[in-house]
Amino acid sequence: MGPKPIIPGSGELFRQTLREQINLKHPLVKLADLIEWERIDAVCSSRFKSGRGRPATSPRLIAGLLYLQHAFDLSDDDVVWGWVENPYWQVFTGETYLQIEPPIDPSSLTRWRQRLGEEGIEELLAVTISAGQRSGAVRKSSLKTVIVDTTVMPKAVAHPTDSRLLERSREHLVKAAGECGLKLRQNYNREAPKLALQIGRYAHARQFKRMNKVLRTKQILTQRTKDKNKLYALHAPEVECISKGKARTPYEFGVKVSITTTLKEGFVVGARSMPGNPYDGHTLPEALEQASILSETPIHTAVVDRGYRGVEVPGTRILRSGQRRGITKGLKAMIKRRSAIEPTIGHMKSDGKLDRNWLMGRLGDAIHAILCGAGHNIRLLLRRLRLFYALMLVWLVGPINEKHGMAV
């Protein structure tokens, strides 16, 4: 059954509301007033086809928890229990009175993410873009010129060494055979762990011929070291090995993600997972299409790096790093600004959750990438509101201190 409409103040005639007890100039309170919660309610309500059963949780509560989770890099458990401890988080999610119990079980966030799907989560990102325009953090004209780049979103898997993967595969097969009542001639429960230890010793001593000889003793069907479609994790078969040319981390295991930001403000207007490790240039049309839909603005200019060579998008001017033909002084400044997306991606990984994806499957990859973009926009909006609040304090307190002869 769809969400039940909330009637403020029903049954709470003699309690003091939260807004009467907190600072209404707090950035989270201001941000809550900027977000179009009705738009989120409409999208979430459309996901419930049945009119029977218990009413669903408030969509504003779920959307608010997802925003806070990705803005402050929290797990499902941490964001739910943090909500209980922080009255400003409760106001942000639409609560009228102080609550002392968790609003939902943390596992409900998983079911809501699956119910919303990629399209519903994209609406959460679109709402942050709209809030950015209403707050003045991003201008309507800025949405026409964007920067596009790709990065790797690592999956929450152990480093996939062949020996470890083989041992885990054997354990799963032996366990499955036991559950099905199959009697194996030999299960290698004693021999396989010893071989895994020996492989590690040979690898540490750089005795690769001996290591490969032991590896040939056991293998996953016909999988080889340099197979193109190699399996890297049993619980996440969608994981890919991606090389981005980094000296510190030559290989990363996860999925390629395309990030689109505004040229001036660094506001995220698009984030999409690109399974299959495609060439960067082939991801550009999809990235620009998503950014144009979410921002409701046609993209006129896209600034990219040299990895996008040879790709043209109808109706959009593509500026590449190192491009010289037909470049004016203004266009040169725009190309030079392209590197601004690098710290944005860095903050999405260090301050947000882009550095580790715990959601399952390709759908989890797509949802996680979009929510990381929404979380980054929430951080930018909060920073702007904090700065505005600090300037207002200086403006109000300054004349008072001057009147009393105090230094500011």
- pTM of the entire structure? 0.84
Establish if 184 belongs to a structural domain: yes
The verdict on 153 and 258 lying in the same domain is: yes
The verdict on 259 and 311 lying in the same domain is: yes
Establish if 110 belongs to a structural domain: yes
Is pLDDT of 270 > 60?
yes
The verdict on 152 and 176 lying in the same domain is: no
The verdict on 118 and 262 lying in the same domain is: no
Shortest CA distance to 149 belongs to which of 222, 46, 258? 258
The verdict on 7 and 129 lying in the same domain is: yes
The verdict on 178 and 259 lying in the same domain is: no
The verdict on 45 and 122 lying in the same domain is: yes
Sorting pLDDT into bands at 50, 70 and 90, what band is 126? Answer: very high
Residue 297: per-residue pLDDT: 93
Which residue segment(s) compose the domain that 284 sits in?
Answer: 146-157+240-358
Residue 408: per-residue pLDDT: 45
Sorting pLDDT into bands at 50, 70 and 90, what band is 5? Answer: low
% of the chain surpassing 70 pLDDT: 88
Measure the CA–CA gap between 307 and 2, rounded to whole angstroms.
46
pLDDT in tens, 62-74: 999 999 999 999 9
Instruction: Tell me the pLDDT of the chain averaged across its residues.
Output: 86
pLDDT in tens, 354-389: 999 999 999 999 999 999 999 999 999 999 998 876
Sorting pLDDT into bands at 50, 70 and 90, what band is 326? Answer: confident
Is pLDDT of 82 > 60?
yes
Establish if 235 belongs to a structural domain: no
Establish if 227 belongs to a structural domain: no
Over residues 131-140, mean pLDDT: 92
pLDDT in tens, 329-342: 889 999 999 999 99
Over residues 221-244, mean pLDDT: 76
Establish if 339 belongs to a structural domain: yes
Q: Which amino acid is at 284?
A: L
Residue 14: per-residue pLDDT: 67
Residue 406 burial (10 A CB sphere; 0-12, 13-18, 19+): exposed
Q: How many domains does the chain have?
A: 3
